């Protein structure tokens, strides 16, 4: 027996094979490690959705699959072959891509754009044949743009243009379809229609789908498996029911949710929950003082501000990113002159703000002779019984001749609570709030 894929046929033997295999894949932009030691495989006819927070490596992984970029370490195999050794034109016969946004600078008609999907099959300087036009026609009908075939692609709405790009990808006759947030510009009606079409091709034609999505419920509804990435690593890989669990969502996305079964399909359905405390209640309960430097505290201050806490900060140098962000957020700050060491007066003002705070948090920043007093003030605050949450600092950049490392050890010995990153810090703060109410 044979099964058809989009305009083609596959055997049952083909369906059992791994289409893509990753073996210990690493990728970095410059020196920033984005993907870390990824190993898994994707089978023929599988619908895999890649989910995860912003910056977790989802789109980068898709770019590795389409060979826009190459791994720094490890290997990716396509149907058993090293993907980097496959000729571009042959690769295009197997994989097609629908990006989130597509820009076409020339006034091509919709039909011209869709026919670009036939490029891998055309000889040099040859024109499309009758069968090429027929495949383009069928793809345009399936994506509901046949009536727009003679329109200029740049005259279409964003959603119409995206459906034309999907039609182009289908006209390419792929065995694997890579989708990167491909329905973000579609209205609800066409989003559902397109997903139903993609799922139908996946089931009936054994088209392998690899879909990056921020919509956990869409991913749950249509995917066979979910790959949850977090900070460039695989956090979870399994069925929607195995991956979409409250503790996993809370751990990775840092939000509280309720998981229920869809009353229609039975798939796990994620319902975001508001915090038990309103913003005005949080402001009354907890005042947080932030110690940071060299622009690395701005993200932390924004996150605490959005959560509704009353925030103070110091000591910051005038003109650095932390000070600029703090001013924009209306945060009370202890300030020092630009490029100046922390003075005794600023040190004492910082200590005064610490005394008034319910909790003090210290971010991760490089330490030099000019800002080492931001560590010394922590020691003084601990002596006075204040509670400190500190993001662990590996001190790769210690410009104090070892003083910073020594102070950090004293802070640890005297009761400073160390956390690995901002995510763990937020968990600690949430736990403290629960203990206080």
Lowest mean pLDDT segment, chosen from 48-62, 67-81, 390-404, 414-428: 390-404
Integer Cα distance of 179 and 40 in angstroms: 19
Do residues 327 and 387 both lie within one domain? yes
CATH of the domain at 364: 3.40.50.720
* Percent of all residues in the chain with a pLDDT value above 70, rounded to a whole number: 90
pLDDT above 90 for 404 = no
Integer Cα distance of 346 and 342 in angstroms: 6
- The pLDDT of residue 40 is 95
In a domain? residue 270: no
Query: Are 40 and 237 contacting, i.e. CB atoms less than 8 angstroms apart?
Result: yes
pLDDT above 60 for 13 = no
- The pLDDT of residue 365 is 82
In a domain? residue 200: yes
Band the pLDDT of 1: cuts 50, 70, 90: very low
* Averaged pLDDT of the chain: 85
* Percent of all residues in the chain with a pLDDT value above 90, rounded to a whole number: 39
Structural domain ending residue among the three candidates 186, 219, 239: 239
In a domain? residue 258: no
Do residues 303 and 412 both lie within one domain? yes
Q: Of the candidates 130, 132, 105, 100, which has an alpha carbon nearest to the alpha carbon of residue 116?
A: 132
In a domain? residue 269: no
Do residues 217 and 315 both lie within one domain? no
Do residues 199 and 285 both lie within one domain? no
Structural domain ending residue among the three candidates 239, 262, 290: 239
Do residues 334 and 410 both lie within one domain? yes
Do residues 48 and 105 both lie within one domain? yes
Structural domain ending residue among the three candidates 186, 207, 239: 239
Do residues 285 and 163 both lie within one domain? no
Do residues 226 and 285 both lie within one domain? no
Band the pLDDT of 255: cuts 50, 70, 90: confident
In a domain? residue 71: yes
CATH of the domain at 184: 3.40.50.300
117-170 per-position pLDDT tens digit: 888 888 766 677 888 898 899 889 888 889 998 999 888 887 788 889 889 999
54-63 per-position pLDDT tens digit: 889 999 999 9
Lowest mean pLDDT segment, chosen from 30-39, 67-76, 85-94, 304-313: 304-313
Do residues 24 and 153 both lie within one domain? yes
Domain containing 388 equals 279-436
Do residues 217 and 352 both lie within one domain? no
Do residues 335 and 390 both lie within one domain? yes
In a domain? residue 227: yes
What total of structural domains would you count in the chain? 2
- The pLDDT of residue 197 is 85
417-426 per-position pLDDT tens digit: 998 888 788 8
In a domain? residue 264: no
Do residues 100 and 177 both lie within one domain? yes
- The pLDDT of residue 302 is 84
pLDDT above 60 for 5 = no
pLDDT above 90 for 15 = no
């Amino acid at each position: 027996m044979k099964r058809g894929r989009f305009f083609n046929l596959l055997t049952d033997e083909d369906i059992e094979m791994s289409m893509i295999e990753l073996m210990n894949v690493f990728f970095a932009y410059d020196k920033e490690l984005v993907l870390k030691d990824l190993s898994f495989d994707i089978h023929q006819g599988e619908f895999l959705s890649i989910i995860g927070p912003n910056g977790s490596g989802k789109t980068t992984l898709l770019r590795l699959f389409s060979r826009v970029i190459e791994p720094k370490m490890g290997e990716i195999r396509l149907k058993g072959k090293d993907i980097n050794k496959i000729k571009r034109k042959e690769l295009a016969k197997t994989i097609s891509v629908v990006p989130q946004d597509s820009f076409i600078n020339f006034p091509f008609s919709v039909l011209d754009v869709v026919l670009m999907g036939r490029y891998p099959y055309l000889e040099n300087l040859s024109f499309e044949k009758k069968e090429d036009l027929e495949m383009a026609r069928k793809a345009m009908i399936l994506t509901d743009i046949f009536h727009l075939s003679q329109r200029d692609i740049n005259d279409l709405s964003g959603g119409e243009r995206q459906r034309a790009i999907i039609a182009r990808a289908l006209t390419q006759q792929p065995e694997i379809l890579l989708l990167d947030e491909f329905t973000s510009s579609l209205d609800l009606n066409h989003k559902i229609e397109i997903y139903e079409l993609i799922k139908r091709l996946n089931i009936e034609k054994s088209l392998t789908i690899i879909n990056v999505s921020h919509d956990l419920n869409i991913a749950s509804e249509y995917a066979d498996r979910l790959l949850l990435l977090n900070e460039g690593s695989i956090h979870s890989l399994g069925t929607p029911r195995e991956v979409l669990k409250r503790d996993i969502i809370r751990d990775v996305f840092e939000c509280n949710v309720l998981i229920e079964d869809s009353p229609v399909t039975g798939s796990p359905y994620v319902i975001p929950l508001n915090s038990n405390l309103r913003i005005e209640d949080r402001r009354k309960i907890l005042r947080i003082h932030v110690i940071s430097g060299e622009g690395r505290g701005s993200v932390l201050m924004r996150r605490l501000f959005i959560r509704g806490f009353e925030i103070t900060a110091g000591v910051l140098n005038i003109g650095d990113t932390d000070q600029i962000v703090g001013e924009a957020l209306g945060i009370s700050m202890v300030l020092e002159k630009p490029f100046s060491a922390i003075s005794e007066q600023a040190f004492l003002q910082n200590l005064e703000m610490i005394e008034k705070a319910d909790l003090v948090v210290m971010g991760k920043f490089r330490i030099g002779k000019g800002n080492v007093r931001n560590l010394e003030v922590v020691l003084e605050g601990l002596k006075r019984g204040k509670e400190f949450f500190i993001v662990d600092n590996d001190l790769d950049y210690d410009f104090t001749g070892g003083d910073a490392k020594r102070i950090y050890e004293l802070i640890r010995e005297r009761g400073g609570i160390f956390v690995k990153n901002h995510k763990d810090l937020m968990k600690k703060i949430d736990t403290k709030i629960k203990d206080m109410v």
